[in-house]
Amino acid sequence: MDTIIELALQSGKQFQSSQTGFVHYNYQNPLKGTQDTIPVYENFLFALALLRSRIGDHIQEAKQLIKQLL
């Protein structure tokens, strides 16, 4: 199960913006470098994966992400 969480984190980090901290993913154009959308559902799932990792830095990042989304 830990490997699934690690894969989810790697995938989320791939689409995470260094400027906003949100996961930006556009289903119509998934390979383009610039993404403008901030999908709420995917960002909550990424925050859940961060929480499930049980690493202190990841938990703080997840709390900040959830706070911004709410």
Rg of the chain taking only CA atoms, in angstroms: 12
Tell me, what amino acid is at 31?
Answer: L
pLDDT of residue 62: 92
Query: For 36-66, b where at least 16 C-beta lie within 10 A, e where not — what string?
Result: eeebeebbbebbebbbbbeeeebeebbeebe
Q: Which pLDDT tens digit goes with each residue over 9-66?
A: 888 888 888 888 888 776 666 565 555 677 888 889 889 999 998 888 889 999 999 9
